[in-house]
Amino acid sequence: MAALKRYQHYINGEWVDPSNDEWIESYNPYSGKPWAEVPRGDAADADRAVSAAFKAYTSGDWPNVGATERGALMRKLGDLIAANSQKLAAIEVQDNGKLMAEMGAQLGYIPQWYYYFGGLADKIEGSVLPIDKPDTFNFTVHEPLGVCVAITPWNSPLLITAWKLAPALAAGNTVVIKPSEYTSASTFEFVKLVEEAGIPPGVINVVSGYGNEIGEALVAHEKVAKVSFTGGTVSGTRVYENAASGLKKVSLELGGKSPNIVFDDCEIDNAVKGAISGIFAATGQTCIAGSRLLVQESIHDEFVDRLITLAKTAKMGDPMSIETQVGPVTTPPQYKKILSYFDIAKEDGAECVLGGSKSDDPSLEHGWFVQPTIYTGVRNSMRIAQEEIFGPVLSVIPFKDDDHAVEIANDVVYGLASGVWTQSIRRALEISKRIQAGTVWVNTYRAVSFVSPFGGFKRSGLGKESGQHAIREYMQTKSIWISTAEEVPNPFIIR
């Protein structure tokens, strides 16, 4: 058997082995076989990476790189990602099983985050304040935080890295990235471009390993100023608790159970496609999955028939093939988790009208394939309607009218995203205002952009990524006072 490709940690501009010399195999979800090894980092590696990032933040070249120059370096990095996009996309597909059709386009789009935030780097202006004190000049400056830790999940490693790294760098911070141990390879390949872009050593570091080992050590490290995490709500809560002891700044982008609401005045063909893209794209392994499909009673049966007809045409197969529409699940635990929900749905009395098991296609037996699945007769209180499954499993829930739709949509602990399908502008705006979620898509689904803020309400997270104010999540404001008085007045009273 050919030797597995081995990746090392990237710390202070150098490739280094993990201090314990332990490695984790990385699997191809389509073949079910290991293809690479990544370091199983521990607390010692976390300390090496954070110390390098801290040194780069406080001394060396980076503190003297002005905002305009940072922007230029980031644009160069964006250009390099664009030039290597197909290679990076192929590694993502090999490691996480997402479709080449999607990852090729996604990698082509990722440079935009580096261009956008690179352009923003020298446009963050402080203010001179009309201060109410005589002989006093007061102004504000917005400064970086220091060392930022970016923890990313397995579903879209390089896109989510860009959402964190681009604003962090533009603000002048240094960064340690910890990808999921299932999908670290693409982040290691990406970081090879950093040196070529001319970004000084130590500014961007990448270490891999388990969340409860190196992940926790990074979050707890005393020299870390900020943690930006994307992943499940259970892990995110733990990160929040661990960061609290050091009063670190935290951004959390967590799970969802997003309602995709179809009114009877919608354009049915488009809404059917919107329901499909909400749940079967990325094999449902996306935080924004429209996993609760709320359909108005008057069109419920017709809509479900059309949905099943279209879903049945989904072609499962090799994610590298451009023809494939539904790929494998990324990890064995995730595969088992999804299958377990089929029993849960049965116990709860939901009716399975499509799928409901692993794939029975012998040509896919080595990979972790789950059939696109649709349940009807779902009550919003059922576990399949309340818990994030993170797979191609759709719960269809009927509703009577607008109030009923909003009541069901908001009756969940999450609040990440939502969809509304209607031809009425009045209804679109009214429902958008009433939904408790950070994103509402009207007559579309699963659209993201570097321009538009993204982040959850309720237990879907804290803070925003993308959009102009995302850079403020990586900055702090300082107020500077200058007295022009000739004499210091009475020192025993507050000014």
**Range in contact with ligand NDP (rule: CB under 6 A) among 137-145, 146-154, 405-413, 466-474:** 146-154
What count of other Cβ atoms lies within 10 Å of the Cβ of residue 61?
13
Whether residue 287 lies in the annotated active site: yes
Q: Strands of 128-129's sheet, edge to edge?
A: 128-129, 136-144, 475-483
Active site residue 253: yes
Q: Which residues lie closer than 8 Å to 71 by C-beta, 6 or more apart?
A: 118, 119, 120, 121, 122, 170
Sheet with 393-399, strands from edge to edge, namely 351-354, 373-376, 393-399, 292-296, 259-262, 419-421, 441-442
Q: Which is nearer to ligand NDP, 89 or 219 (CB)?
A: 219
Of the candidates 253, 388, 465, 473, the residue annotated as catalytic is 253
Burial label, 126 (beta-carbon count in 10 A; 0-12, 13-18, 19+): middle
Sole window of 179-187, 194-202, 444-452, 464-472 interacting with ligand NDP (rule: CB under 6 A)? 179-187
State how beta strands 351-354 and 373-376 pair: antiparallel
Q: Are 471 and 477 within 8 A, CB to CB? A: no
Q: Which of 96, 112, 180, 277 binds ligand NDP (CB under 6 A)?
A: 180
What minimum distance in Å lies between the beta carbon of 149 and ligand NDP?
9
Q: Assess 75 for contact with ligand NDP (CB under 6 A).
A: no
The distance of closest approach from Cβ of residue 244 to ligand NDP in the complex, given in angstroms and rounded to an integer, is 13
Q: Site mask, ligand NDP, residues 282-321, x = CB under 6 A? A: -----x----------------------------------
The only residue of 18, 97, 202, 211 in contact with ligand NDP, by rule CB under 6 A: 211
Minimum CB–partner distance for residue 199 and ligand NDP (Å): 23
- Any contact of residue 219 with ligand NDP (CB under 6 A)? yes
Q: Is 392 in the site for ligand NDP (CB under 6 A)?
A: no
Going through 219-377 in order, the beta strands assigned E by DSSP cover 224-230, 249-253, 259-262, 292-296, 351-354, 373-376
Q: Does 212 bind ligand NDP (CB under 6 A)?
A: yes
User: Distance between CA atoms of 179 and 188, rounded to whole angstroms?
Assistant: 9
- Position 281 contacts ligand NDP (CB under 6 A): no
Overall residue count recorded for the chain in this entry: 495
Range 223-252, binding ligand NDP (CB under 6 A): 230-232, 235, 238-239
Residues in the interface with ligand NDP (CB under 6 A) total 28
Tokens of 213: 């080992």
For ligand NDP, what does the binding mask look like between residues 343 and 382, x meaning CB under 6 A?
----------------------------------------
Whole-angstrom Cα distance, residue 70 to residue 51? 22
Cβ-Cβ contacts under 8 Å for 411 (sequence gap 6 or more)? 380
Residue 361 CB, nearest approach to ligand NDP (Å): 24
Distance CA 305, CA 115 (A): 44
Residues engaged in binding ligand NDP (CB under 6 A): 151-155, 178-181, 210-212, 215-216, 219, 230-232, 235, 238-239, 254-255, 287, 334, 337, 388, 390
Active site residues: 253, 287
